[in-house]
Amino acid sequence: MSFLSVQFMILITVLIILLKFIHDKYAERILLLAASYLFYACFDLRMLAVLIGLSVFTWFGGKMMILSKTAGNVKASKAICLACIAIQTAVLLFFKFSGLLPMPVGLSFYMLQAISFLADNYSEKLQKYPSFIDSLIYIGFFPQIVSGPIVKAKDFIPQLDNRKELTKERLSYGVQLFALGAFMKLVMADRLAVSVDSVYSAPCAYSGLSLFITSVGYSLQLLFDFAGYSNMAISAAWLLGYDLGKNFNLPYLASDPSDFWKRWHISLSSWLRDYVYIPLGGSRKGKFRTYLNIFLTMLISGLWHGSTINFIIWGSLHGLWQVIHRAVRDIGMSSASNKKAEGHNTLPLRFRHFASIIVNFIIVDFLWIPFRTETLSDTWMIVSRIIMLKPGISYYYVYTFIFAAILIIVQLFAVYRNNGDNPLKPLPLNTLHGKVIFCCFIISIAMFAYFGNGAFIYAQF
Amino acid sequence: MQRSKPYIKQIIQWCAAVAASLFIMNLLSFAFYDPCQELIRTQGSTTGFLLPGSKGVYGLEGYCIANIDENGYVNRDLPRASSYYVVAGASHTEGLFLPLKLRYSDRLNAMLGPDNELRVYNIGRSGNFFSVVLQHLDGILGEFPDAKGIIIETDTLTYDTKALYDSMSQTGYDPDETASEMYSALSGRQKFSMQVKQYLPLVRELHKQYLTYLNMSEEAAPSDILNPDFWAQEYAGGYTDALDSLMSFIRSKTDKQIIILYHPAISLEPDGSMKLLTNGAEPYYKEICAKYNIDFVDMSDAYMKAYDEHHTVPYGFSNTTMGAGHTNRDAHRMIAEELYKVIEK
């Protein structure tokens, strides 16, 4: 059941209506859980058993952990927590790498939530240990189960007691966010996929410049696909009364790698920060350990995305890049303060910022190449053809330029009007002009949607 | 009563917003996708024609503003020369993806003399594939009795023995089935309906999108049309007899110059090479066409040469993909050059 299917529209509408009339918290929870499992069962009924099994295991594991802690046995509690996380990770690795069984839909995402459940309860970030049904809902919540956003237990579970009623304003924002997501997916991402898929199926045939333009097309496709999906997931949860937070914030406006990861797949970045980087020691154990921790975190991020060497290379290169940037920044900060003291003029700040955005984007763009290709030799072949400006078919896909221009305009607004944050605000649907723009937007989705490539890229992870 | 007022206002606003947005987006459609209306016929040189005197915008693949002449074919509004060729074929020939002057028929026209009259008259119509054109041969000869020659375009030779024999069955020619006659025969209601549709491209665009959405889940079966085993059996059987009969049949219909234009589909391979997608029937066509004094223009070599020397591919546009879809401006140029060589000879 895709977000863009009629079945999903019916499911979410029925659920919203029922939740409007149900005021009993327990009945609300039962309804949410039933809807979540129905949604998941539509993908694969057999894999529902994995989801339920993992949720039950997590709750009982957590319960044992808490009981040990309450009894004053902190060591045992920690051991149980680590053992449970190890088992959860082993299950994920088994499905991801063994290839013996098909990978359950969304396992990579809900497994991270299950780990978050244990970690947040262990570190007592939740006021009380959640009920059994709350933990089932948290791990299996249908709007985000397929591809996130990965919500932390401490952020989501308390919302189950304080579900927001659907007001006119909430409805307006939710519907518009969903429409924006649908536009990003159907009109932008899927149309870009046409060009990207065809070029990547025979990259040797294309010129270096064409391959570079296509790599930009893929960078845009990935953004619009995943951010579009995230918008739809966030809006579905929003309409039901829950806030899943933000998952993207104009990532190609980032001026450095750490800024990029604060804007791209924010929920995964913050999960990795809280449950991998900080437990490894973060930046508290000296420079070398900081660099090592950054590198390891990014390597784990690569492994989480996939088992092929390409993902490991992708994660490692991102890690390496972050480490280099951090090291340069550490050195640069001391030299800059020296220069400042000596009265040296540096380049205008705005120009430097603009140049760093371009450089950052080009590096991210090149790093998406191993992410998209299937083998390392393909990656190398494409990169070398781009760098050597090899001759070949000249193919400059019009929509890559159109969508890049749209993104640049939005980013310029973000820089000049909103301190670099997403400047898009909901339309005032209580006014006539707001309604007209919204209707035009909906018609434009129907007009320009490219039907034929419905799968979301991140669903495969 | 007082409470219901805001709701009524909101409902009115939503209705006005829907109407205004439909109007705005319809205007936008005129620049993006505004196809011409089609009139279907049973007997004639093609299966149908477009609304005479209309214009259409096609921006889904390539981009073109089509001009429909008084006969319902896509041509510039120029007088037909006393000596002219008729070009028949499917969408590649119709060329609703390129500006008019860039189509091979128009390029050939310019090569053959001053570009102020039509020495090459294009009757290409989407869906009029090789066998369909041949079934309308009587129609072509009837509708264009003074034509100097006929060019028949095809992008495939995958017509088996049965299809070759079937191609000889003629639909016939009815002089009343011309664009002007058929349009005048339409009822006022039909004419009104066509005009309304012509002014509502958004509706047609949304309808097309809806049909695409419905077919989205249906996976296309892998094509087996080039299966070498099948064609080996065909060539070992009565294929050449059928092809011989067909060419003999075509020649028996007229002594005008007849040119079969063949431009094969291609695929781009992972190693960077370009492959022609053919069933290997070219030698049979060449031999049998020569026997009946029919020119067979095969674009295979020209396509391969253009790719090897300049990385030029004959299909695809910058708003679709390369190597697939319809013939692009490079292919039309190459085709015009090859046709010119044959005609000059």
The 3-class SS string of B43-59 reads CCCCCEEECCCCEEEEC
- Count Cβ atoms below 10 Å from residue B62 Cβ, excluding itself: 22
By CA distance, what is A430's nearest residue in B? B10
pLDDT tens-digit series, residues B142-179: 999 999 999 999 999 999 999 999 999 999 888 888 88
CA dihedral angle for residue A6, residue A106, residue A250, residue A417, rounded to 10 degrees: 60
Using a CB-CB cut-off of 8 Å, the residues of chain A touching B311 are 205, 207, 391-394
Which position has the token pair 């640069």?
A332
pLDDT in tens, B34-62: 888 888 888 889 999 898 888 899 998 99
- Residues of chain A neighbouring B202 (CB-CB closer than 8 A): 443, 447
Q: What is residue A17's predicted lDDT score, i.e. its pLDDT?
A: 92
Phi, psi of B56 (to 5 degrees): -135, 155
Number of H helices, E strands in chain A: 19, 0
pLDDT in tens, A236-251: 999 999 999 999 999 9
Q: Which of B124, B115, B72 is nearest to B96 (CA)?
A: B124
Is any Cβ of chain B less than 8 angstroms from the Cβ of A447? yes
pLDDT of residue B7: 84
Token pair, residue A62, equals 């957590």
Burial environment of residue B251 by CB neighbours within 10 A (0 to 12, 13 to 18, 19 or more): middle
Q: Is the peptide bond before A279 cis (omega within 30 degrees of 0)?
A: no
Q: What is the DSSP letter of A452?
A: T
* Burial of residue B138 (number of CB atoms within 10 Å: 0-12, 13-18, 19+): middle
Instruction: For tokens 């090592």, name the residue.
Output: A292
- Cα(B186)–Cα(B192) distance, rounded to whole angstroms? 10
CB A374 within 8 A of CB A186: no
Q: Is A204 on the interface with B (CB under 8 A)?
A: yes
- 8 A C-beta contact, residue A77 and residue A119: no
**Percent of chain A topping pLDDT 90:** 71
Name the residue type at position B118. Answer: L
Q: How many interchain CB pairs under 8 A, A with B?
A: 97
Interface probe with A: pick from B311, B312, B329, most Cβ of A within 10 Å: B311
pLDDT digits (tens, 9 = 90+) for A184-220: 999 999 999 999 999 999 999 999 999 999 999 999 9
pLDDT digits (tens, 9 = 90+) for A60-100: 999 999 999 888 888 899 999 999 999 999 998 898 888 78
Which residues, listed in sequence order, are joined to residue B49 by a DSSP beta bridge? B39
pLDDT at A343: 53
Q: What pLDDT shows up at residue A338?
A: 58
Cα-to-chain-centroid distance, residue B271: 31
The yes-or-no verdict on residue A337 having pLDDT over 60 is no
Of A98-102, A225-229, A436-440, the least confident: A98-102
Q: How far apart are CA B324 and CA B304, in angstroms?
A: 15
Average pLDDT, rounded, for chain B: 91
The answer to whether residue A273 scores a pLDDT higher than 60 is yes
Residue A331 has pLDDT above 90, yes or no: no
Q: Chain A contact for B324, CB < 8 A?
A: yes
Query: For residue B131, what pLDDT is reported?
Result: 94
Question: Please, which residues 150-189 of chain B have a Cβ atom closer than 8 Å to chain A?
Answer: none
Closest CA to B256 of B77, B80, B88: B88
Q: What is the pLDDT of residues B180-202, one digit of tens each?
A: 888 888 888 988 888 888 889 99
pTM (predicted TM-score) = 0.90
Question: CA-to-CA distance for A200 and A378, rounded, in angstroms?
Answer: 9
CB contact under 8 A, A451 and B22: no
ipTM of the prediction = 0.89
Per-residue pLDDT at B177: 82
B100 in contact with A, Cβ within 8 Å: no
Fold adopted by B32-185+224-344: Rossmann fold (3.40.50)
pLDDT at A265 over 90: yes
- Set of chain A residues whose Cβ sits within 8 Å of the Cβ of B206: 443, 446-447
Please report, as a single letter, which amino acid is at residue B170: Q
Residue with the bigger pLDDT between A418 and B265: it is B265
Q: Residue A398 and residue B319: Cβ atoms within 8 Å?
A: yes
Tell me the nearest-neighbour CA distance from A410 into chain B, angstroms.
Answer: 22
- Tell me what pLDDT residue B218 has: 64
The predicted-structure confidence for A36-65, as pLDDT tens digits, reads as follows 999 999 988 888 999 999 999 999 999 999
Picking from B10, B32, B311, the nearest residue to A393 by CB comes out as: B311
Q: Hey, is the C-beta of A194 within 8 angstroms of any chain B C-beta?
A: yes
Contact B252, B207 (CB under 8 A): no
CB count, 10 Å around CB of A287? Answer: 11
Q: What is the pLDDT of residue A195?
A: 94
Looking at residue A69, its pLDDT comes to 87
pLDDT of residue B107: 95
> By three-state DSSP, how is residue B275 classified?
strand
Interface test with A, best of B13, B211, B212, B267 (most A CBs within 10 A): B13
Which residues of chain A neighbour B321 with C-beta distances below 8 Å?
194-195, 198-199
- For residue A345, pLDDT over 90 is answered with no
Token pair 């990003």: residue: A184
> Which of B209, B213, B321 comes nearest A194 by C-beta?
B321
Q: What is the pLDDT of residues A149-192, one digit of tens each?
A: 999 999 999 999 888 988 999 999 999 999 999 999 999 999 99
